Amino acid sequence: MTDSWRQPRRLLLVALGALTVFFLMAPTLVVVPMSFTASNALTFPPEGLSTRWYEKMVTDPQWSTGFLNSAKVAFLTAILATVLGTLAALGTVRGRFPGRGAVNGLILSPLIVPVIIIAIGMFSVFVRWKITGSIVGLVLAHTALAVPFVVVNVATSLRSMDRNLEQAAQSLGAGPVRTFRRITLPLILPGVLAGGLFAFITSWDEVVVSIFLTSARFRTLPVEMWEQVRQVVDPTVAAVSTTLLAVTTTLLLLAFVVRRQAPAR
């Protein structure tokens, strides 16, 4: 293909990509203006502009409690999943043991297995452990779903780093722990942070497993939205959806920026 055709072809691909993204995002983005409607019902285009639905989201105990519950669960999940996922990535990338591929596949299986099957399995186990409807059960469940994202990010950082730096540190007398703390961890830190952000997002938006494991006294924000949609639909749901979308988009952009820092370290 001549050079005269390359530029138009590239522009056409970019245009098609932009149209595809718009087609996929339009149904989600239409919720944003609906959340500012002055009407008592969901309408598009909105009938007047008002922020009262955001005020209701903040002042209504159901919504505010669900927001705090989601934040607590997501924060604890991010910490636990980051620690476990980093250790798992170190073991699967650096370890040499029989069945390493099977172990890696088991760790990444939540990315492949349908979430409804995971939810049913966790519910049957957690009922026996008597931790359904508690923050402990929800954090453990969300951690299992979030660990694969941490493993993927950290494993990528481990494979791209120069191992000669670790060997140089060890040749100068540094032990395994000090080598990891002073050399390995700073080099893979962008992957660790990106994995932690993805773990937070996974927990923050998760609804299927949460429906099985929450109770009437302890609900996360996505579950509260699910229950409200089943009963009474008002523009508060659109305000909550917009808030979830804004938080998720911000964290995804932050994770992208953090991952871009990996080559510079």
d(CA 157, CA 163): 11
Q: What is the mean pLDDT of residues 124-139?
A: 88
Tell me: the pLDDT tens digits for 87-105? Answer: 898 888 877 778 777 888 8
Helix (H, G, I), strand (E, B) or coil at 49: strand
- pLDDT for residue 195 is more than 80: yes
Q: What is the pLDDT of residue 4?
A: 52
- Cα–Cα distances in angstroms (integers) from residue 114 to residues 73, 110, 126, 220, 244, in the given order: 22, 8, 19, 21, 23
Residue 110 has pLDDT above 70, yes or no: yes
Q: Enumerate residues 6+ apart whose C-beta is below 8 A from 67.
A: 57, 221, 243
Specify the CATH number of the domain 76-264: 1.10.3720.10
Highest mean pLDDT among 85-89, 161-165, 252-256: 85-89
With contact defined as beta carbons under 8 Å apart, do 126 and 213 qualify?
yes
* Lowest-confidence region among 3-12, 57-66, 249-258: 3-12
Q: Let me know how long the chain is.
A: 265
Q: Which two tokens stand for residue 252?
A: 């995804």
Averaged confidence pLDDT in the chain: 82
Q: What average pLDDT score do residues 209-224 get? A: 86
